């Protein structure tokens, strides 16, 4: 699934981004996210969204908050949290 960003941005590597592709997460993704995040809810969200869209967390930190909220909501829906 492709999501068009309301506010395109440039990644930390200098790549312009106007849309992102979402991929379905697997159990191994969720396990890795939880291990890396050390139970920090904000880190779980950031790492989860990063894995779901195939970007680095550093890239997401440059994303507009409105676009991040949209992606974060989708991630939380997958986990059944939202």
Q: Residue ranges of the domains in the chain?
A: 41-82
Burial category of 17 from C-beta neighbours within 10 Å (exposed 0-12, middle 13-18, buried 19 and up): middle
Q: Give one DSSP letter per residue of 25-80, joined into a string.
A: --HHHHHHHHHHHTT-HHHHHHHHHHHHHT--HHHHTTS-HHHHHHHHHHHHHHHT
**pLDDT tier at 82, thresholds 50, 70, 90:** low
pTM as predicted: 0.89
Condensed to tens digits (0 to 9), the pLDDT of residues 28-52 reads 999 999 999 998 999 999 999 999 9
Measured in whole angstroms, the distance separating CA 70 from the mean position of its chain's CA atoms is 10
Q: Give me the mean pLDDT over the 12-28 stretch.
A: 94
Query: How large is the average pLDDT for residues 18-24?
Result: 95
């Amino acid at each position: 699934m492709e999501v068009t960003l309301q506010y395109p941005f440039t990644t930390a590597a200098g790549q312009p981004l106007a849309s992102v592709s979402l991929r379905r997460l697997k159990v191994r993704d969720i396990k890795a996210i939880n291990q890396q995040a050390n139970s920090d809810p904000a880190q779980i969200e950031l790492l989860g969204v990063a894995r779901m869209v195939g970007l680095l967390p550093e890239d997401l930190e440059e994303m507009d908050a409105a676009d991040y909220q949209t992606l974060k909501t989708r991630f939380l829906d997958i986990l059944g949290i939202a």
